[in-house]
Amino acid sequence: MAILNFILIVASSLFFTGIVIRTKSILSGRKGPGIFQPLKDVWRLFRKGAVYSETTSFVFQVAPSIYFASVLMAIAMIPFGSQPGLISFKGDFVFFAYVLALGKFFTIIAALDTGSSFEGMGASREALYSMLVEPAFFILMGSFALLTGQTSFQEIFGSLHFGTYISYAVGVLAAFVITIIALVENSRMPIDDPKTHLELTMVHEVMILDNSGFDLGLLMYATNLKFAMYGALVANFFLTPGSELYFSIPIFIVTQLLFAIVVGIIESFMARFRMNHNPQYIFTLTSISLLIFLGVLLILGKIV
């Protein structure tokens, strides 16, 4: 059973980006590409060889593989309701955050390894955004650890119960925070536009300009996996502990579908923020996480 969620997340990743693009096409009145087009693009890149600049070192060559492996390891820690992930231990949500940080670190130093100030600019921005989003995640998970008295993903989600108006509000806010974290971590609108090539506003895209072939395919597919991974975290808030698989699996699939549609709607109706507004926007997630912490204190009766 431990491998079930891993399989579901990988399966969801095959469709996720395609559903986002399809949603954007429908809302803009265009026919647009098919749902499997992003997957076909990745497969085409997997069949190509990578080209490396003479100015880069082995760091640039190994970074895409380490980044991809870090995402897979993080996915292995996501539970399925009360069922543990492939990797589960006390305090695993801390390891989850920092194994993703390890992959992000290698993409950053790989961008710097090219010797391009242009890519260095994007690396600096991505490091800043990741630093600002980190407190929101830890306050969020720390709040639920306090609420349940548990410290692992599986135990937290397995012990989580919503029964009051305050607890429902906390759950909705938590799902919202994770959704925005997913947009920030994947450099999507309104933080970044993955389709732009305007030098002054590029973030993630500028970091991978020198990657090609198989390496670029790994980086692109890792984005699909990360979206499905955060969607699985959101789904865990709605999986009732002890539910049968015929009930839990449809909830998981519907949550992933709705998550992809919400991302498509956000990207269709929101313009990219000005660069100097991004840190302010991201830091508001910490404020929302503090509201969740306050709600947990109210539920526990620590505040009268």
- pLDDT confidence band for 199 (50 / 70 / 90): low
The CA-atom distances, in angstroms, between 245 and each of 1, 84, 152, 161, 182 are 10, 14, 22, 19, 26
145-149, 219-223, 299-303, range with the lowest pLDDT: 299-303
**80: which strand partners?**
83
pLDDT for residue 185 is more than 70: yes
What is the per-residue pLDDT across 15-61, written as a single tens digit (0 to 9) for each? 999 999 999 999 988 888 888 898 999 999 999 988 898 888 899 99
- pLDDT confidence band for 2 (50 / 70 / 90): low
Rounded to whole angstroms, the Cα distance separating 172 from 179 reads: 11
Rounded to whole angstroms, the Cα distance separating 129 from 184 reads: 7
pLDDT for residue 101 is more than 80: yes
Radius of gyration of the chain (CA): 19
Average pLDDT, rounded, for the chain: 87
87-101, 147-161, 192-206, 214-228, range with the lowest pLDDT: 192-206
- The pLDDT of residue 200 is 65
Residue 84 is encoded by which pair of tokens? 């543990």
- The pLDDT of residue 198 is 67
Residue 246: Cβ-neighbour burial (10 angstroms; 0-12, 13-18, 19+) = exposed
Residue 205 is encoded by which pair of tokens? 């895209």
- pLDDT confidence band for 299 (50 / 70 / 90): confident
- The pLDDT of residue 221 is 94
What is the per-residue pLDDT across 52-90, written as a single tens digit (0 to 9) for each? 988 888 999 999 999 999 999 999 999 887 788 888 899
- pLDDT confidence band for 145 (50 / 70 / 90): very high
What is the per-residue pLDDT across 227-256, written as a single tens digit (0 to 9) for each? 999 999 998 888 766 566 777 888 889 999
- The pLDDT of residue 240 is 62
Cis peptide before 64 (omega within 30 of 0): no
The CA-atom distances, in angstroms, between 42 and each of 17, 37, 47, 102, 295 are 11, 9, 9, 23, 43
Asked if residue 221 lies in contact with residue 13, where contact means CB atoms within 8 angstroms, the answer is yes
- The pLDDT of residue 110 is 92
What average pLDDT score do residues 202-225 get?
A: 88
What is the per-residue pLDDT across 271-296, written as a single tens digit (0 to 9) for each? 888 888 888 888 889 999 999 999 88
